[in-house]
Amino acid sequence: AKSAGKAQFARYSSELQQQAQRQLELQNALAQACSCGELRLVYQPICRLDQGQPVLMGVEALLRWQHDGREISPLEFIPCLEESGEILAVGDWVLRQACTQVRAWQLAGQTQLRCSVNLSSRQLQQGDFAARVADVLRETGLPAASLVLEITESQLMQDSAQNLACLRELASLGVQLALDDFGTGYSSLGYLKRFPLHIIKVDKSFIAGTPQDAESLAISRAIIGLGHSLGLTVVAEGVEQQAQIDFLGREGCLYAQGYWFSRPRSPDDLQRLFSGEDCF
Ligand code: C2E
Ligand code: CA
Ligand code: CA
Ligand code: CA
């Protein structure tokens, strides 16, 4: 048993080593990616559901990294960027790029289009983050009310006093704040009371089970009801089927995002959707 344990340990530590190695490689490559233009944004539509047919309300900017001919998932490289601190520079770039793009679409006729951007808690922990956001809004001309900043519960948890101060400043700019992946973190309910939030996004893991799975259905229904009774806007994430839209309609959930409407698209692709050459 002892030698089996040893072998297992050896295997475990070599796995750890490989992981560390991979992490290092990614970090080196990322440092270059930022300067070589390997990072780009795609945009996923967020729709309003109560108008007979889905109406485009906004887009969520999602980061993509094309490296050595393949696309690396943000779930894999964002933690690396957070670890190395590069998320600050990349996050600034994402914010500025997304606001510039959405402002251009607004001026081209999508006057009501909103721009959602994901934040990392490291960004909120910069003392001057709200001032940076104000600068970007001024420089790009995007109205504060058109910007939605998305943050997850687990990120809010990390330094809640600093985060609270920062979110209050952002809210006072007129920016909308969304709690992302709602229901997957801890003590979600406390956050709803404590932080100045405007929107909750029902995590796609719950929506995925609707309308067949009784538990997913009960949880999604409860989150939608809770959000509405607190006066929040509720957005369902990860909508992939008509039956889920029907369910959301019955629950009075007005906003949704997911592959059913559109995958995340390049700016050019989305442009085609706007000009009617392409439809949902
Ligand atoms: P998220 O903010 O929850 O973004 C939604 C994710 O769900 C996206 O994955 C999107 O492509 C995917 N998705 C959308 N509709 C559907 C659907 O119908 N079904 C399924 N199964 N998935 C759907 P993506 O683009 O891989 O991003 C993963 C996560 O990476 C994001 O999750 C977000 O937490 C993070 N992320 C992406 N871009 C940024 C960024 O610029 N900054 C930061 N800090 N995080 C980012
Ligand atoms: Ca998000
Ligand atoms: Ca989410
Ligand atoms: Ca997520």
Residue pLDDT, tens place only, 162-184 = 889 999 999 999 999 999 999 88
Which residue owns the Cα nearest ligand 1 atom 8? 62
pLDDT of residue 208: 97
CA 81 – ligand 2 centroid, Å: 17
pLDDT number for residue 7: 76
More confident residue, 196 or 188: 196
Other beta carbons within 10 Å of 4: 8
Distinct helix (H) and strand (E) counts, the chain? 12, 9
Under 8 Å between Cβ of 103 and 142: yes
- Where is pLDDT greater, at 278 or 66? 66
Other beta carbons within 10 angstroms of residue 195's beta carbon come to: 18
Pairing of strands 199-202, 176-182: parallel
What's the CA-to-centroid distance between 148 and ligand 2, angstroms?
10
pLDDT of residue 153: 83
Residue 69 token pair: 């001919």
The number of beta carbons lying within 10 Å of the beta carbon of residue 120 is 20
Q: Which one is predicted more confidently, 28 or 148?
A: 148
Closest ligand 1 atom number to CA of residue 42: 25
Contact 153, 121 (CB under 8 A): no
pLDDT score, position 142: 98
The model carries a pTM of 0.90
For atom 3 of ligand 1, which residue has the closest CA?
181
pLDDT in the model for residue 279? 62
Question: Residue 62: beta bridge partners?
Answer: 42
- 117 CA closest ligand 1 atom index: 41
Tell the residue number behind the tokens 């990322």, with chain if given: 30
> pLDDT tens digits, residue range 226-250?
999 999 999 999 999 999 999 999 9
Contacts of 31 (CB under 8 A, 6+ apart): 84, 86
Tell which wins on pLDDT, 260 or 27: 260
Question: What confidence tier does 35 reach under pLDDT thresholds 50, 70, 90?
Answer: low
